[in-house]
């Protein structure tokens, strides 16, 4: 087994992330290429997600974990998710008055629900996702500096899964069923669920840290 294989897979995911962001940046809701770009981005994101699972499995099964992998793997994941949410809140995903892609039904929904965004991702949601990742990274660094091992939890994995489901749902819906009310509602629901899960797991992380520090007489 090539000992560098997990790191090579991680590096491939970094490249895939760049391709993914490039495709999203080219998207325009009223352009003929819009559907192709979103479907391509959808496939790239799925492949990137599979490489995340694969490199972790290989590293654990064959004991090929490295310092680079322990740092680069989670950082790549955070950049991909946070970057995607930021781009989905960009101007090229903003709604315009009725007459464009799927806007008839969505335009009439409450502004607080969609933010008048085709993606249903609002600027404040990006702040929540970004703040959570900064907070968790800071907490983990502080805890480990005090000699406390702070391992990833199942909550974090569920959060990542929900975020990925939301991202894939947005891409698929906009590309393939933009006018279907059921698809629009599904898209909005998955985005809100992902953001709420992000906030809740962040608060859970804070509580876990306080208990851990208190138990070790460092609170």
Domain boundaries, the chain: 5-215
**Cα dihedral 66/63/78/157 (nearest 10):** -160
pLDDT at residue number 217: 62
Instruction: Give the contacts of 138 (CB within 8 A, at least 6 positions apart).
Output: none
Please name the fold of domain 5-215. 1.20.120
What pLDDT is recorded for position 120?
96
Task: Indicate the average pLDDT of the chain.
Answer: 86
pLDDT of residue 219: 52
Long-range contacts of 105-113 (CB under 8 A, 24+ apart): 105/179, 105/181, 105/184, 106/184, 109/184, 109/188, 113/188
For residue 167, the model assigns a pLDDT of 98
Point out the residues of the chain with pLDDT beneath 70. Answer: 1-3, 67-68, 97-104, 143-144, 146, 148-153, 212-213, 215-219
* pTM flag (> 0.85): yes
Determine the Cα–Cα distance for residues 178 and 173; give it in Å rounded to an integer.
6
For residue 149, the model assigns a pLDDT of 61
Give me the pLDDT at residue 200, please. 92
What confidence score (pLDDT) does residue 122 get?
97
Instruction: Specify whether the CB–CB gap between 27 and 34 falls below 8 A.
Output: yes
Q: Find the DSSP H helices in 89-218.
A: 103-107, 111-114, 123-145, 154-176, 181-215
DSSP state, 62?
A: T
pLDDT score at 64: 73
């Amino acid at each position: 087994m090539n000992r560098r294989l997990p790191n090579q897979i991680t590096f491939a995911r970094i490249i895939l992330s760049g391709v993914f962001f490039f495709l999203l940046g080219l998207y325009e809701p009223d352009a003929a290429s819009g559907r192709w770009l979103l479907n391509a981005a959808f496939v790239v994101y799925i492949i990137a997600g599979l490489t995340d699972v694969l490199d972790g499995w290989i590293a654990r099964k064959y004991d090929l974990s490295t310092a680079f992998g322990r740092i680069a793997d989670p950082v790549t994941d955070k950049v991909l998710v946070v970057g995607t949410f930021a781009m989905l809140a960009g101007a090229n995903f903003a709604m315009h008055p009725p007459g464009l892609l799927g806007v008839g039904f969505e335009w009439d929904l409450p502004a607080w629900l969609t933010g008048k965004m085709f993606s249903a991702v609002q600027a404040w949601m990006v702040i929540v996702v970004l703040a959570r990742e900064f907070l968790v990274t800071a907490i983990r660094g502080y805890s480990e500096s005090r000699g406390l091992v702070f391992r990833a939890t199942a909550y974090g994995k569920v959060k990542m899964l929900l975020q990925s489901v939301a991202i894939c749902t947005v891409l698929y819906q906009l590309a393939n069923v933009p006018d279907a009310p059921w698809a629009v509602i599904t898209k909005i629901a998955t985005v809100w669920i992902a953001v709420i899960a992000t906030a809740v797991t962040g608060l859970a992380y804070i509580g876990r840290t306080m208990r851990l520090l208190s138990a070790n007489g460092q609170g």
